[in-house]
Structure 1
Amino acid sequence: MFRRTFWFTAGAAAGVWATTKVNRKIKQLTPESLAAQAADKAIEAGHRLKDFALDVREGMVRREAELGGALGLQAPVDPELPVTGHIAVDPARPAPTHRTLPCNSNNRNEDH
């Protein structure tokens, strides 16, 4: 009698365990769950890409400073000039203007 009870209980426990595992897997494979998992992976990849870009930029700045020092290109920047980005702008000089080329509507090479 004890054997039958033991095996019945073991079978019931295995059935409950298997049913639980199957239900969890089914919930993971729903379209909403798959979309959420894909979004999480994309966000994680974006963070890794951002970290990589910051590391590359830091390395570029460090290497540029090393090369500038080795070549003697360390020019002091005038603190009076306003800085836009990394280029100092002289307010006495006008900003360069960019010419736009005329558009030729008869040019058939535009599509190629």
Structure 2
Amino acid sequence: MNKVNLKEKLSKFSDHWNPRIVGELNGQQVKLAKLKGEFIWHSHKDEDEMFLIIKGRLKIEFRDRMVELNENEFFIVPRGVEHKPIAEEEVHVMLFEPAATKHTGEEVHELTNNNQNFI
């Protein structure tokens, strides 16, 4: 059991849309990622996904609306809901999701990474 310093972990990488695992609990993974630009439309059939904004502003587009998240805010995307994250400037985010969650759901794209690593 070790404490986790988010700033230190975030300093270990600079790429975007490539989450790193920083913890696990009760079948859930805690991940950190840096986001910039637009991701792809996708959904997670059987898993909810929580976005907690550490730094910056993230938009999450849905087919019928858009949610804008600022630092220290979080949003839970319900399972099965199609969404597209958009980061106009670099965003640092913590994700909480079941360990079995596929990065882009059933979508396959050049940004898909289902082999995320611990840092």
**TM-score relative to the length of structure 1:** 0.16
Q: Which structure dedicates a bigger proportion of its chain to helix?
A: 1
Q: Which structure dedicates a bigger proportion of its chain to strand?
A: 2
**TM-score relative to the length of structure 2:** 0.16
Which structure has more relative contact order (CA 8 Å, sep 6+)? It is: 2
Structure with larger Rg: 1
